[in-house]
Amino acid sequence: MNETSPSQRLFRRYLKDQGLPCTRQREQVAQVFFSSSGHLSVEDIQRRLRDGGHRIGKATLYRTLELLVRSRLVVEHDFGEGFKRYEHRLSREPVHEHLICLECGKVIEFESWEVQDVKAQITRKHGFQPTRHRLEIYGLCRECQEVGVELPNDGLTCPIERA
């Protein structure tokens, strides 16, 4: 459980490059984070740190996550849940899109060259310099549908007239 992952080594190098100290806390966050996978909330990470016997203040955790994001080893997501999630960027495709279940929160990832195409086309057309994008499709996953979950539909019931 304590071996050093490639990502962790890259993070060390990043810190060194930036002239920042490589502290016990930063090591522990990196170690725990990079040995997990998925889209972790700050709470998730805190729990894993505690479970690993590490006691780290949340301010430090937030500050370390900021560094991880800046190093580009980690991506920050906001799925509109009221808090952020963090994802290890290595050991997976460099670009991917998300299917998100509104019932159970499961995230399915997929790649799409079509989206890359659209992005290239549309940014060229608008003289826009793109840095990143996200495509997120929300709905019900197969399992939640099978259990009989339905999404409430409370909206106006007739076709919407155009203003």
Partner DNA sequence: GTCCATGCAAACCTTTTGCACTATA
Partner DNA sequence: TATAGTGCAAAAGGTTTGCATGGAC
Using CB under 7 A as the criterion, which residues of the chain lie in contact with DNA when the complex forms? 19-26, 41-43, 55-60, 62-64, 66, 82-84
Q: Which of 131, 132, 136 is nearest to 97 (CA)?
A: 136
- If the CB atoms of residues 13 and 47 are measured against a second copy, the closer one turns out to be 13
Contact with a second copy (CB under 8 A): which of 19, 21, 53, 127? 127
Q: What is the bridge-based pairing of β-strands 39-41 and 97-101?
A: unpaired
Q: How far apart are CA 61 and CA 123, in angstroms?
A: 35
- If the CB atoms of residues 38 and 50 are measured against a second copy, the closer one turns out to be 38
In angstroms, give the least distance from the CB of 51 to DNA. Answer: 16
Contact map string, positions 76 to 115, toward a second copy, x by CB under 8 A: --x-x--------xxx--x--x-x-xx-----x-x-x-xx
83 token code pair? 């808090």
Can you tell me whether residue 38 is helix, strand or coil? coil
How far are the Cα atoms of 32, 149, 153, 161 from residue 157, in angstroms, in the given order? Answer: 49, 21, 9, 11
Out of DNA, a second copy, none, what residue 35 binds, judged by CB under 5 to 8 A for its kind, is none
